[in-house]
Structure 1
Amino acid sequence: MGVLSNMIDEKELKPGDHIYSWRTAYLYAHHGIYVGDGMVIHYTRAAGQETGTGTFLDRLLFSSSPSNTGNLCERCGDQSELHGVIRSCVNCFLDGGHLYLFHYAVSPAFFVAKARGGTCTLAASDAQDAVLHRANYLLNNGFGTYNIFNNNCEDFAIYCKTGLLIKTSFSGGRSGQLSSFAAGFGALASSHLRFLAMNPAGLALVVSSMYSVGRYLSDIGVRGDAFKIPVERLVTQSGVGRQTEEGTTEAETQQ
């Protein structure tokens, strides 16, 4: 487990591992749960609908669905139009990117040292059988409505690993990526004009410290509004139905 990189070889993977791959010049990553036999269960939105905003961002943020390059995978076929919880081979999940392992139960010092969000958490992972049960259960029953801000692929993977959900209406989800963006914005926005009079080193220290504190306090491993929710109750409470072959749930199809 290194501070500089979480890259891992596919041969090292174990069922229940939370993996991810960076997309679009390392701006963000796509996350999933490795379930063995070279397959990954992950939460996705169809190509060109990533943010669901109907703007150019839907084309720019293309992180979830495996792309259709014309050479269809023999195991997966064309998954570029699927959305919801799907099962793909590792190669389709990576979509040309490198493979990385998300780390759990890291120390506060290590967490802060990993300045990039979406790579680790202070929360502990549950046992392998619990992780695989959640992933497979959600594959068959869905994970609600995809939302890039509070119900995305990283949120899905973290829930599978920990069973934790944020129980406030102000939640920004469990995603470390978005938490780091929010912490960075907050650090800059909270820097008063008097900081501009500081030398560059002092300003950098203040902003980086505020950024680290913001990331730490928003991590699901220390948040006071994170609660363990059994996957069966999660599905019942959220009203999601069994997924159809197209990747949508019955509840979504009926809407």
Structure 2
Amino acid sequence: MGFLSQQISRDELKPGDHIYSWRRAYIYSHHGIYVGNGEVIHFTCGGGLETRTGTFVDSIIVSSVPNHGGGDNPCPNCGDQSNLDGVISSCLDCFLAGGNLYLFEYGVSRPVFMAKPRGGICTTAVSDSSGETIHRARYLLSKKNGFGVYDLLKNNCEDFAIYCKSGLIVLSKLGGSGQANSVSAASGVLSFAGAMKTVSVGSAARFVVSGFAGFGVMALVGYGKYCIGRLDADIGVRSDANKFPVEALVTVIAIIEGREVDDKK
């Protein structure tokens, strides 16, 4: 894999890999755990849950959710999964939904993490063994709502895959995905830019910022704040990220969401 591209071929896939595929012109990516034999376990909103925010975010979610073999020609392996939600199992073709295959990276250094141009492609967190990863994914698959209710910004497919791979989760908000953290970091940069605009016209700072050189400095500072914000929110460095056995996690999430615990084996 290159520094900017983490695309891999199907021949390079190994059971326990955290994989993803970009949706809608690289706006958002869908993540899952490859468990072998062409099968991917992943977390999806599905089932009409895409349109509950009432904002432009809905269009992003809709375009990011694979069709899962729906329509007039259901997948011969998966059948019609278009109405399913929660943790599901799909063939690799249905998971990719026509997109390319990428490998999520674990255990990257902090400088490399900050140098990556966007979130949702790597973490400083260290991954567990492929056996542990697959066990978590299959256990959550066996529980209808084991990983809770899908939420694009708080509990999404990337959160699911990161948990399966590392055992780490941020229970205070049920999530810690790089994509959501990038949005938060970008918001901080916009706030910084807004603050700079409020500097009085007569001040030296406003004079510098209004010039070309000043714009370049502000852009560099803003990008630096974006990178640092992403790192601070990464699950690998967060103090509120905890490691939970998958059996305990299902119980904790059910309690947080006010549901009865599914104790079926």
Global fold match (TM > 0.5): yes
Contact 2:46 2:84 in 1 (8 A): yes
Q: Which runs of 5+ in 2 are unaligned?
A: 198-204
Question: How many Å apart are 1:187 and its aligned residue?
Answer: 1.1
Residue aligned with 1:58, SS = helix
SS class of match (1:126): coil
Per the alignment, do residues 189 and 154 of structure 1 end up closer, same or farther by CA in structure 2, a change over 3 Å counting?
Answer: same
AA in 2 matched with 1:66: N
Rg (Cα) greater in structure:
2
Of 220-229 and 140-149, deviating more is: 140-149
* 2:138 counterpart SS class: helix
Q: Deviations for 1:157-206, whole angstroms, at most 9, x for unmatched residues?
A: 000001111143xx472110010111011112123225743523212111
Question: Which has the higher mean CA deviation after the structures are superposed, 200-209 or 67-76?
Answer: 67-76
* Partner residue, 2:29: 29
Secondary structure of 1:190's counterpart equals helix
Deviations, residues 208-244 of structure 1 (Å, cap 9, x unaligned):
100011001000011111110110001122228xxxx
Tell me which residue corresponds to 1:4.
Answer: 4
Give the equivalent residue in structure 2 for 1:206: 221
Q: How many residues align?
A: 242
Cα distance in 2 for partners of 1:28, 1:94 equals: 13
Structure-2 change in CA distance of 1:4 and 1:56 (3 Å): closer
Q: Which amino acid aligns with 2:92?
A: V
The residue number in structure 2 matching 1:173 is 175
- Quote the sequence identity (%): 53
Q: Corresponding residue for 1:245?
A: none
> Letter of the aligned partner of 1:49 in structure 2?
L
- Find 1:160's aligned residue among 138, 160, 164: 164
Which residue number corresponds to residue 234 of structure 2? 219
Distance 1:100 1:47, change over 3 A: farther
Within a 5 Å distance, the mapping from 1:10-25 to structure 2 comes to 10-25=10-25
Pair 1:145-2:149 in alignment:
yes
Larger CA deviation: 223-232 vs 52-61: 52-61
C-alpha distance after superposition, 1:64-116 (max 9, x if no partner): 34352532111001111110000000000011111100000011121112121
List runs of 5+ in structure 1 lacking aligned partners: 241-248
Q: Which has the higher helix share?
A: 2
Secondary structure of 1:117 counterpart: coil
Structure 1 residue 144 displacement after superposition: 1.0
Within 5 Å, which residues of 2 pair with 1:122-141?
122-141=124-143
CA–CA distance in structure 1, aligned partners of residues 157 and 128 of structure 2: 18
Distance in 1 between residues matched to 2:61 and 2:130, nearest whole Å = 31
Q: CA deviation at 1:4?
A: 1.1
Q: Which residue of 1 aligns with 2:202?
A: none
Cα deviation, 1:4-42, whole Å, max 9, x if unaligned, reads 101010111000000000001110100000000001000
Question: Normalized against structure 2, the TM-score is what?
Answer: 0.85
TM-score normalised over the length of structure 1: 0.88
Of 84, 95, 98 in structure 2, the residue corresponding to residue 96 of structure 1 is 98
Kindly indicate whether the alpha-carbon contact (under 8 Å) linking 1:151 and 1:173 is maintained by their aligned counterparts in 2.
yes
